[in-house]
Amino acid sequence: MVVGNESSVTEFILVGFTDLTQLQLPLFLLFLMNCMVTVVGNLSLISLIYLNAHLHTPMYFFIFNLSFIDLCHSLVITPKLLMSFVSENTISFEGCMAQLFFFCFFVHSECYVLTAMAYDRYVAICKPLWYTVTMFPQVCSLLMFGSYAMGFAGAMVHTGDMVRLSFCDSSIINHYMCDIFPLLQLSCSRTDASELVDSIVVSTVVIISSFIIFVSYALILSNILHISSAQGWSKAFSTCGSHIITIALFYGSGLCTHLKTSSDGSIGQQKFLSVFYTNIVPMLNPLIYSLRNKDVRLAVKKTLKRVAN
């Protein structure tokens, strides 16, 4: 452990995902493949949306930003995770706080982007005649700016709260990344106020986004129930299906991780569950939004034809 002035730790050791030697190589290859699929998938979706004019719509504008966030989120977490499988994984105090900041920034931003997408689906299904008027480019840009601004504010609160704590007894973080809960456990300061602040910030994000998403889909469901044709039902469900799957995966894994009690036994479960929203969800989102999407398949054909010519 490297200790600086006032007995503060200046370097941390990340334990990693597991300390079982026989699992190091298989897990390294698994997460390396996960990283490659995530990067290729999200970059491909970003490129397709950018290059094809028929995808320049509000829905794909939000998907573009979602893919950008997932790509960055994965690149913030996965490199240090992979390093933990091949060598002792150290990270400076400043590097740890930077990783924590960007992790919180992208997680919070994704919550608000998914919320904006729920509102977009509500307008598209319940107010179709007003859709182009309501969701014009300036409104979409404002929603995205608000999402990133709220994400930035939340990340600043979490990181600022952590920087004020003292770390003097140990430098070993029982995790594969610098997350809030493992750092609080490691601190030799009183963490009551920090835990309260972090709980308030997380609760605010979850309550606001969940409320808007719930109301949007309640109104969508009410509207769908008044649709008499099977074609209308199919179109409505195909429009919302991908978004609902993404919300279920992201919020489900995130809430399960942060609702665990602060016991030693829960750390292993937290690491396992956190993999879902740090690695698996960013990998699956491009697949969810493209495999059954006619617009994206058409964009792929057009792009391939353009490249071939």
Q: Is 9 left (phi over 0), alpha (psi -120 to 50) or beta?
A: beta
Classify residue 263 as exposed, middle or buried by CB count within 10 Å of its CB (0-12, 13-18, 19+).
exposed
Q: How far apart are CA 148 and CA 144, in angstroms?
A: 6
Read off the pLDDT band of 170 (50, 70, 90): confident
Condensed to tens digits (0 to 9), the pLDDT of residues 247-305 reads 988 888 777 776 654 444 566 677 888 888 889 999 999 988 887 678 888 888 888 88
Characterize 69-87 residue by residue with b for buried, 16 or more Cβ atoms within 10 angstroms of its Cβ, and e for exposed. bbbbbbbbbbebbbbbbee
Condensed to tens digits (0 to 9), the pLDDT of residues 21-47 reads 888 899 999 999 999 999 999 999 999
Model confidence at 96: pLDDT above 90: yes
- Would you say the C-alpha torsion 240, 242, 245, 249 has a positive or negative sign? negative
Model confidence at 7: pLDDT above 60: no
pLDDT given at position 298: 85
pTM: 0.89
Helix (H, G, I), strand (E, B) or coil at 91: strand
